[in-house]
Chain A
Amino acid sequence: MFIVKYIKEVLSAIRSLLVGMRRTGYYFTHHKEIITEQYPDNRNTLVMADRFKGEVVLTHDENNEHACTGCTACELACPNATIKIVTKFDITPEGKKKKAIDKFVYHLELCTMCNLCIVACPTDAIKMAQTFEHSVYDRSELTKILNKPDSKIRAGIE
């Protein structure tokens, strides 16, 4: 029958709409399911994943010593020329010349956080830090020198 079919059609259409409204109504009344991150407010409690790739840092220990030998493996591994290592020659107590880093220049503005430099480093001198608030007023502030002033290479690292 045409009329019965017509009425059935209308009723099933209304039913399908009510099912959707029940679902949205459920979320309207259940505020515990809210999942948005209250970012600037939860800054103090925010924990990033320990592998999160935020920026490259050169790790220094308490004696202001790092493990970078200046081998430029990271510089070669980098696809974007993000890392530039300037080397100098230190005179060892025995009077020999020894290669060491002068400046570990890191261009954060070029970095794509691909992790290739970290993998390439033979002495595990650099690692990824979990910082992510990188906004600055001038792009020149993004060019960083990673080795701290007067830092030295840790003894025993070749």
Chain B
Amino acid sequence: MIIEMVIAGIAVIGLFAALGLVLVIMERRVAAWIQIRLGPNRVGPKGMLQSLADTVKLLVKEGMTPNGADKFLFNFAPFIAMMVAMLLMAPIAFAKDFQLWDMNIGVLYITAISSIMVISILMAGWASNNKYSLMGAMRSGAQIVSYELSAGLSILTIVVFTGSLNITDIITAQADGWWIFKGHIPVIISFVIFIIAVTAETNRAPFDLAEAESELTAGFHTEYSGMKFALFFLAEYINVFIVCAIGATLFLGGWMPFHIGHWEAFNQVMDYIPSSIWFFGKTFFLIFVIMWFRWTFPRLRIDQLLNLEWKYLLPISMFNLLLATAMAILGWHF
């Protein structure tokens, strides 16, 4: 039992490191191509080892703590960010029958844990004793708390249709077609809302107000350097991965292969592709969409950000949930 847990722990940490490296290089490549540049091309073949070199550089860099900072909270905040990201890994099904913890309240667990993320940002911003950091942290607090609502409500739509909070059940329910392709309007609306809300929750552009480079220099992590900064950086990317994994699980069928009606031959070919490839493919597609957002859109202002949530997303998603519930009660779904 203990050995099993140790192995799981090591596997998660290894996955973390690998994901961080892959996502950073992916982001840089996507940004470069959109911006008609080549991107990193110096370290390793086609620059693929660039993020490894950056990690080594950050590891050997001195981690400074400012004089006026609250030392304990300042040093503790990055670890909370990492802990939250690690905890969120637990219920995700990476492949068929491959899950760290198949609990019966998986979706609830994810929504509950992901709201802890804001604590680390608030803690970092407050402890830094820097006005830019403080403003970034306060913005982030307002932002994450409000966008939790519509993210949660859009997840609920799927829960209503499947009637279960269990991740495995939700995936099994999509065996005959992914939710997004089943043609239910509430699901499509909630998918769009989910993507917008999680982009905001993970503090990614166009909702990167907590960092807001041109306004707050670097927002809540202005004072962080070296490995402590790297942990925040890593946590951001892991969070993006996790929310995209959840999105892929709920709306795109997790590790379920793509099937079309009664095309037996086609379906068999699809089944032949390993389930883990399906899962990672879908997740990375969603990650790409979120990166695409980042390199296309300008940033919102703080009051517009809250307007968008409270005046547009929340009413729409509440109405959407109502519609979904009515459909579920009347049995209009399949």
Contacts and interface: CB of A to CB of B under 8 A. Distances in A.
Decide if A and B touch, CB cutoff 8 A. yes
A16 to B, nearest CB: 10
Given A10-B312, A17-B297, A21-B292, A28 B30 contact: yes
What range describes how many residues of A lie at the interface? 10 to 19
Interface stretch (B34-42, B164-172, B180-188, B238-246): B34-42
Interface string A29-41: 0010111101000
A21 B37 CA distance: 17
Contact of A36 (B34, B36, B295, B296): B36
B298 to A, nearest CB: 9
A38 B38 CA distance: 9
B36 A33 contact: yes
A88 B316 CA distance: 89
B38 A24 contact: no
Interface in A1-46: 10, 17, 20-21, 23-25, 27-28, 31, 33-36, 38
The majority secondary structure among interface residues of chain A is: helix
A24 B296 CA distance: 6
B72 interface: no
A21 B297 CA distance: 8
A27 B33 contact: yes
B37 A28 contact: no
Contacts of B30: 28
A25 B289 CA distance: 10
A38 B37 CA distance: 10
Given A20-B297, A27-B33, A28-B292, 8 more contacts: A10-B312, A20-B296, A27-B35, A27-B36, A28-B30, A31-B33, A35-B36, A36-B36
25 contacts: A10-B312, A10-B316, A17-B297, A20-B297, A21-B292, A21-B293, A21-B296, A24-B34, A24-B292, A24-B295, A24-B296, A27-B33, A27-B34, A27-B35, A27-B36, A28-B33, A28-B34, A28-B292, A33-B36, A34-B37, A35-B36, A36-B36, A36-B37, A36-B38, A38-B38
